Amino acid sequence: MKKVILWTSLSVFFITLLQTAIFSHISFFTVLPDLVLLTVIYIAISNGSLTGLICGFIAGLLADFLSAAPIGLHSFIFTLTGYLVGKFYGIYNLNKVIFPCILGGLGFVFKVLLLFVLKILFGQNIHTYNIFSINFAIEAAVNIFFTPFVFLFFNLFPQAFISRSIVQYEKY
């Protein structure tokens, strides 16, 4: 589990850096997938609630420090997402396309709902989505589209992103 957390933390750091420092400044990309959220979803569904919770918290802290969001916002969202998605560990086949797409879409909708609730509770500093805008629909579609690719990428490195006991179990 420690190795998964370390590799996930390093991956999330570089993904967040890539999204905030490079992709956000390219005018071609008006809507970006939330690759950190998709990473947390992959780690949680592949390793369970505890690993999803820890990796979600670390990923959220890194995202908070590298973005303009209030400190703790992403930590809360990714921690809760990692924990809840981790509850489905071992139940579904992740080698298909449809279930990862459903997870990516539900993860995005969950994030949007949490942001809305947090804005009501804590005020105006929290950016929410206009669910009736075209950008919302495009971002949801982009997240759903990129989810299988994120899952496929991390599946290339099972020793780094899946706990050892799970990797040994799949070999037999």
pLDDT tens-digit readout, 16-59 = 888 888 877 776 667 888 999 999 999 999 999 999 999 999 99
Residue 98 has pLDDT above 80, yes or no: yes
Distance of CA 143 to CAs 46, 108, 140, 146, 165, Å?
19, 7, 5, 5, 30
Sort 116 into a burial class: Cβ within 10 Å, 0-12 / 13-18 / 19+. Answer: middle
Q: Specify the pTM.
A: 0.90
pLDDT digits (tens, 9 = 90+) for 54-76: 999 999 999 999 888 888 999 99
Domains and CATH numbers, the chain: 2-171 (1.10.1760)
**CA pseudo-torsion sign 52, 57, 58, 61:** positive
Calpha distance 139→157 (Å, rounded): 27
